[in-house]
Amino acid sequence: MVTDRKIGVLMGGASAEREVSLKSGAAVFNALERRGYRVAAIDVGHDICDVLKREGIEIAILVLHGGHGENGAIQGLLEVMGIPYTGSRVLASALAMDKESAKKIFLYHRIPVPPFVVVGNGSSREGNGSEVNGFGKETVPFTLPWVLKPAAEGSSIGVSIVREEASFLPALDHALKFGGRVIIEKYIEGKEVQVGILNNTVLGAVEIRTKLDFYNYEAKYTPGLTDYILPPEIDAEVLGEAEGTALAAHRALGCEGATRVDLIIDSDGNPYVLEVNTIPGMTETSLLPKIANRAGLGFPELIEAILGEAIAGGEKR
């Protein structure tokens, strides 16, 4: 047993990814309870401080996807309360959740990302930070197709692929429903690979093949719409470069614990980082547990490894 302290599994919340978070949280809670841990399942609301005190929570496992659970807010609250928690700290969480900020960090560290523009809040900014006048499709300095996505959402919520100009404004309006800034990325044709990282070590990778236009929310959570290839059917040298790029992205943001880094590998074998997920899905069939299982780490052991690192990190701080 990693600890005899009272553990709170924080899940749910009010983000657009609430239902997925509840499933992840239930899987983590059940795994820990079967192992004999003192554990409480907590659906996070505005009274979270009172609930944590009332339950006597001594360490928190964060299984909150999106919103305040993944943007550094709950991490800051736990810091103030003196409760150790799993995953990345405040700054890394905030950077990873904000795709614009993350991409700028990646560019600084020469980590490849697709060409992009950020529009919203009355202005548009190119990926290199220079100003662009206007707010229409003429602000995009690269050719179609494009990927439009909210700057601070997960699970592909609000994401569209624009293949013709007529689709641009509807896609932009859709993305703006989930925040005031929208990332417009150059669409890169290639293989989607997701790399699992645990405590600054690459666990492995999975290749995503979806029957839909892209790996959207429906493809992620509807059985039969997506095939998961473990290990990826990719040249070993190319896969090694992709895994190294993923680890560099994880470290550039200062991430800790378990993350899943999403990449696209083009036809020439070049990897591009799409995003870093600081609290990846944690049901027993989610991608990080799949990757861990192939690496010889079962679901309960994965949870204990994440928990152990959080305890050790808390003691160091």
Question: Within its chain, how far is the Cα of 174 from the centroid?
Answer: 21
Indicate which residue of 190, 221, 284, 301 is catalytic.
221
Q: How far is residue 268 from each of residues 83, 136, 142, 188, 234, measured CA to CA in Å? A: 47, 32, 19, 11, 12
Indicate which residue of 70, 262, 304, 309 is catalytic.
262
Q: Which amino acid is at 223?
A: P
Question: Could you identify the residue written with the tokens 């900014």?
Answer: 125
The DSSP call for residue 175 is H
Q: Is 17 a catalytic residue?
A: yes
Indicate which residue of 18, 125, 181, 260 is catalytic.
260
Q: Is 284 a catalytic residue?
A: no
Q: Is 260 a catalytic residue?
A: yes
Q: Is 277 a catalytic residue?
A: yes
Cβ(194)–Cβ(167) below 8 Å: no
Q: By three-state DSSP, how is residue 87 classified? A: coil
Indicate which residue of 24, 88, 216, 277 is catalytic.
277
Q: Is 286 a catalytic residue?
A: no
Residue 6 CB burial class (10 angstroms; 0-12, 13-18, ≥19): middle
Residue 280's region, left for phi above 0, alpha for psi from -120 to 50, else beta, is beta
Indicate which residue of 192, 275, 304, 309 is catalytic.
275
Longest dimension (CA), the chain: 60
Question: Within its chain, how far is the Cα of 85 from the centroid?
Answer: 17
Indicate which residue of 13, 158, 196, 281 is catalytic.
281
Q: Which residues of 128-279 form beta strands (DSSP E)? A: 131-132, 146-150, 160-162, 181-186, 190-198, 201-210, 226-229, 258-266, 271-277
Q: Is 281 a catalytic residue?
A: yes
Q: Which amino acid is at 207?
A: E
Q: Is 217 a catalytic residue?
A: no
Query: How far is the C-alpha of 291 from the C-alpha of 230, rounded, in Å?
Result: 8
Indicate which residue of 17, 98, 185, 243 is catalytic.
17
Indicate which residue of 155, 160, 286, 293 is catalytic.
155
Which residues, in sequence order, are bridge partners of residue 206?
194
Q: Is 215 a catalytic residue?
A: no
Give me the active site residues, please: 17, 155, 221, 260, 262, 275, 277, 281
